[in-house]
Amino acid sequence: MLEAATRSPPAAPAAEWLKATPPALRFILHADAAACRATAPAWGVSFAEEPCRAVVEGARATLWLGPDEYLLLGRADGTDADIAESEHVAAEAIERALGDMPHALVNIGHRQFGLEVSGPHAATILNGACPLDLDLGEFPVAMCTRTVLAKADIVLWRTGDDAFHLEVWRSFSGYVTGLLSEIAREFYP
């Protein structure tokens, strides 16, 4: 049996506008267009052809992070051991689909967790520490990118008009949630 690392989200202050997302399968895939086409059936999601865009199909997503770099996210259920087994099965399926094609697939499920920031003030709260223009016209739904939230590296993905998904390293959980909570006090005292 695989040794399970902790996949459950770290403690985060729950609020109507801030929630830790459930555990998920998380992989970084470095691959060219041909390898992405081969990966799509195994992962269950196609890959965006437009830079900095996410594609969602069912409980899985692919996020275009850079030339030939993608974040693969998938819902995971069960105990840490169940999730580790799901990661192993998914990785094996992708590796079989890719065969000898040049690629790098890295499991990052133990390294980071997800946060959902939503509500009418979501973009304003994030802009309190994120330098991107999060206006809907500039950062539309399905757009995603690596960026920073103050001093923490994050992946930011707009999932709805007033909803964002953040991928955060576990070691920054207290810093990121504390910072967001401090900024949000203006709107949610």
Q: Residue 152's CB: how many other CB atoms inside 10 A?
A: 18
Taking alpha carbons only, the member of 15, 18, 7 closest to residue 75 is 7
Residue 127 lies in a domain: yes
Residue 95 belongs to a domain with what CATH number? 3.30.1360.120
Identify whether 8 is part of a domain.
no
Pick the closest to residue 62 from 83, 92, 85, 39 (CA basis): 39
Consecutive sets of 10 residues in the chain, 189 residues long: mean pLDDT of each?
54 85 95 97 96 97 96 89 90 97 95 96 98 97 98 98 97 95 94
On whether residue 1 sits in a domain, the answer given is no
The helix-helix angle for 33-43 and 80-98 (nearest 10°) equals 140
The predicted structure's pLDDT at residue 77? 81
Three-state DSSP class for residue 34: helix
Instruction: Classify residue 78: in a domain, yes or no.
Output: yes
pLDDT, position 55: 98
Q: Is residue 189 in a domain?
A: no
Q: How far apart are CA 15 and CA 28, in angstroms?
A: 29
Structurally, how many domains does the chain consist of? 1
Instruction: Judge whether 66 lies within some domain.
Output: yes
Structure tokens at 26: 């998380």
Q: How far apart are CA 138 and CA 147, in angstroms?
A: 15
The first and second tokens of residue 189, run together, are 């005292």
User: Could you list the residue range(s) of the whole structural domain that residue 39 is in?
Assistant: 18-184
* Residue 44 resides in a domain: yes
